């Protein structure tokens, strides 16, 4: 499959080949993805160790110096079947990883992606992320400070929240056809999944062997390498649609064209950027106006929030995974490696079932696949609730859940990339991303509250999440049946022009 994707991408014109080589699926982002997984495992491990140290101190004070008799290096099934009491801090950390995407992504990330040079934006943000990984996270580890760890997570996640709209809105501008957008999006998902499987497994081992600080340094190094590689790529990625061809092209053109009248272009860009800053609020709301006041946007609006339904379910998974791991870095690494493998297998298997490897992109089939993915995710939680007392059961159902979540994530992203107008795509993606991570953060908090305050076991929480997912799938299935039963590619008939976008204030 990977070979087929690479051959398909290689079939485009020379200029598009250059564009693909600069895309987020290239080595720069792959390297930073490895570091991000290491960072995630190390962050959870550090927080867990801080919480256990605090609990141990309290126990010693309460029992007048009695030693702590718990061994947390192995899976303890008794702990899985008993209520937990330290999951809210974990949920808070997960929420803080998502919160910047909820606020910063639509307020800053979307407008920046639509109006500024994507390459420069990505270089700066990778550099900032590198500094955070090198400085803030190790400081939190040395001080054993939850507050400093939370601050570090917010700083890293804020940079990522601005980065994602620029990265995700780039593909439709760089590729010729919807089929190529689909393949490139899948290639991004494959790289993320592979790096997830490798990074999570290695992260568990490195955290156990070398300590969390070493993992943070590796993360900082990968971001620095990513920034350097992107910097080495020439030209800008401030793009717009070609009125003559109806396709997306680079506004800066070739190097020879850019050399002509360079002074005038620089003045125009400076003036444009000043205008961008002055009308930032208007542009920020452009995505909302597009979804509310344009015919095409109104019909696409439900798809924008499709991903959020899945996030409402799997957002609780990370909290549950920490409980299942029971303090073992190795077990946590194995579980998250299963996440990466499931995310790799899911979209590839779905393509085989839908016979989409011929290069065709059919929105109707993809919407139905998204719906089926929600059902699969719900079923996986029911399975985990009934068979999660052993690590093997947790890993198996994690594979199933991750496969379903990856299909939903990839296909819903492709649907927006091929159906939303290029001028507003970055802002619409930012809205979708904010809704998704908002639900994901809320789900993690609800799961932690159920574990800590309601005193449910992790198996009971998984069962309840599965039942919630099945309940959500009923109205969602009715919507899909009524709107996508025979519609096919009918959305192409609703294409709107620049005058209508301007009239809607987009």
- Per the structure, how many domains does the chain have? 1
User: Is residue 264, in this structure, part of any structural domain at all?
Assistant: no
> What are the distances in angstroms from CA 15 to CA 71, 106, 170, 388, 403?
59, 31, 15, 51, 34
Which stretch of DSSP H or E encloses residue 40? Answer: helix 27-62
Residue 128 binned pLDDT confidence (cut-offs 50, 70, 90): very high
User: Is residue 167, in this structure, part of any structural domain at all?
Assistant: yes
pLDDT at 232 > cutoff 50: yes
Phi (first) and psi of residue 456, to 5 degrees: -80, 155
User: Is residue 333, in this structure, part of any structural domain at all?
Assistant: yes
pLDDT of residue 506: 54
pLDDT at 155 > cutoff 90: yes
pLDDT of residue 358: 55
pLDDT at 303 > cutoff 70: yes
pLDDT of residue 381: 94
Phi (first) and psi of residue 268, to 5 degrees: -65, -40
User: Is residue 245, in this structure, part of any structural domain at all?
Assistant: no
Q: How far apart are CA 388 and CA 122, in angstroms?
A: 40
Burial class (CB in 10 A: 0-12, 13-18, 19+), 13: exposed
201: containing domain: 25-65+72-238+281-490
CB atoms within 10 A of CB 348: 19
Per-residue model confidence as pLDDT tens digits over 397-412: 999 999 999 899 888 8
User: Is residue 11, in this structure, part of any structural domain at all?
Assistant: no
Residue 151 binned pLDDT confidence (cut-offs 50, 70, 90): very high
Which of 27-41, 316-330, 348-362 is predicted least confidently? 27-41
Q: What percent of the chain has pLDDT over 70?
A: 63
CATH of the domain at 350: 1.20.1250.20
* Overall residue count recorded for the chain in this entry: 506
User: Is residue 183, in this structure, part of any structural domain at all?
Assistant: yes
pLDDT at 140 > cutoff 90: yes
Instruction: Return the exposure string of 362-386: e unless at least 16 CB atoms fall within 10 Å of the residue's CB, then b.
Output: ebbbbbbbbbbbbbbbbbbbbbbbe
Which stretch of DSSP H or E encloses residue 43? Answer: helix 27-62
User: Is residue 153, in this structure, part of any structural domain at all?
Assistant: yes
User: Is residue 347, in this structure, part of any structural domain at all?
Assistant: yes
Q: Which contacts (CB < 8 Å, 24+ apart) does range 29-33 have? A: 29/167, 29/191, 29/226, 30/191, 30/195, 31/222, 31/225, 31/226, 31/229, 32/126, 32/129, 32/222, 32/223, 32/225, 32/226, 33/191, 33/192, 33/195, 33/196, 33/199
């Amino acid at each position: 499959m990977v070979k087929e994707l690479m051959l398909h991408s290689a079939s485009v014109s020379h200029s598009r080949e250059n564009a693909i080589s600069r895309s987020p699926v290239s080595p720069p982002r792959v390297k930073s993805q490895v570091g991000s997984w290491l960072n995630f495992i190390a962050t959870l491990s550090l927080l867990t160790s801080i919480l256990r140290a605090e609990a141990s101190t309290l126990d010693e004070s309460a029992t007048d110096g009695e030693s702590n008799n718990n061994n947390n290096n192995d899976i303890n099934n008794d702990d899985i079947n008993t209520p937990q009491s330290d999951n809210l801090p974990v949920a808070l950390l997960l929420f803080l990883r998502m919160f910047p995407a909820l606020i910063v992504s639509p307020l800053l990330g979307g407008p920046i992606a639509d109006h500024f040079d994507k390459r420069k934006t990505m270089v700066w943000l990778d550099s900032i992320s590198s500094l955070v990984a090198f400085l803030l996270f190790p400081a939190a580890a040395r001080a054993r400070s939850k507050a400093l760890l939370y601050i570090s997570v917010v700083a890293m996640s804020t940079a990522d929240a601005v980065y994602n709209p620029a990265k995700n809105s780039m593909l439709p501008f760089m590729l010729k056809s919807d089929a190529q957008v689909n393949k490139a999006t899948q290639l991004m998902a494959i790289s993320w999944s592979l790096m997830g499987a490798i990074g999570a497994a290695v992260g568990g081992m490195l955290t156990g062997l070398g300590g969390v600080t070493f993992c943070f340094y590796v993360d900082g190094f990968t971001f620095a390498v990513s920034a350097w590689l992107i910097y080495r790529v020439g030209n800008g990625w401030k793009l717009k649609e070609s009125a003559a061809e109806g396709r997306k092209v680079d506004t800066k053109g070739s190097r020879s064209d850019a050399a002509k009248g360079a002074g005038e272009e620089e003045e125009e860009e400076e003036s444009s950027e000043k205008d961008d800053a002055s009308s930032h609020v208007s542009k920020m709301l452009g995505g909302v106006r597009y979804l509310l006041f344009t015919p095409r946007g109104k019909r696409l609006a439900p798809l924008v929030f499709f991903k959020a339904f899945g996030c409402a379910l799997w957002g609780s998974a990370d909290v549950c995974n920490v409980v299942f791991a029971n303090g073992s870095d190795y077990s946590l690494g194995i579980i998250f490696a299963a996440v990466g493998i499931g995310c790799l297998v899911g979209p590839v298997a779905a393509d085989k079932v839908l016979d989409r490897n011929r290069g065709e992109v059919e929105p109707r089939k993809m919407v139905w696949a998204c719906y089926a993915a929600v059902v699969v995710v719900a079923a996986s939680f029911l399975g985990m609730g009934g068979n999660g007392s052993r690590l093997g059961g947790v890993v198996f159902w994690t594979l199933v859940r991750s496969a379903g979540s990856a299909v939903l994530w990839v296909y819903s992203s492709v649907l927006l990339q091929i159906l939303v107008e290029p001028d507003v795509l970055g802002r619409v993606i930012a809205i979708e991303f904010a809704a998704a991570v908002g639900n994901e953060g809320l789900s993690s908090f609800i799961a932690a509250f159920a574990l800590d305050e309601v005193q449910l076991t992790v198996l009971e929480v998984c069962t309840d999440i599965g039942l919630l997912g099945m309940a959500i799938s009923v109205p969602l299935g009715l919507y899909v049946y009524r709107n996508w039963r025979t519609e096919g590619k009918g959305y192409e008939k609703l294409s709107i022009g620049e005058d209508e976008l301007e009239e809607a204030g987009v």
